[in-house]
Amino acid sequence: MAKDRRMVVVLKCKNERNGKTCNRENYSTTTIRENYKDLEVQKFCRECREHTLHKAIKPSSNRK
């Protein structure tokens, strides 16, 4: 059987406020394995209370 090309990635907030980066993991989505590092979208961050840039990160295996 063919190897599944899609994988789950986590979207992490990259908003900088007062010299600190939020880094809250707000969303998850699926993407093609080769392209997950390039994924950047504008999403709403509840902690920042505004639409901010979210970048895809590869989830670790010990997350629920």
User: 6-55 in CATH: which number?
Assistant: 2.20.28.120
pLDDT for 55 equals 92
pLDDT confidence tier of residue 27, bands split at 50, 70 and 90: very high
How far apart CA 10 and CA 21 sit, in angstroms, is 16
Q: Domain locations in the chain?
A: 6-55
Q: Give the DSSP letter string of 1-64.
A: -PPP-EEEEEEEE--EETTEE---EEEEEEEEGGGGGG-EEEEEETTTTEEEEEEEEPPPTT--
Mean pLDDT check: name the lowest of 7-11, 17-21, 47-51: 17-21
Instruction: Tell me the average pLDDT across 11-32.
Output: 87
Q: Is the pLDDT of residue 17 over 70?
A: yes
Q: What is the pLDDT of residue 63?
A: 54
pTM comes to 0.75
Q: What's the mean per-residue pLDDT of the chain?
A: 83
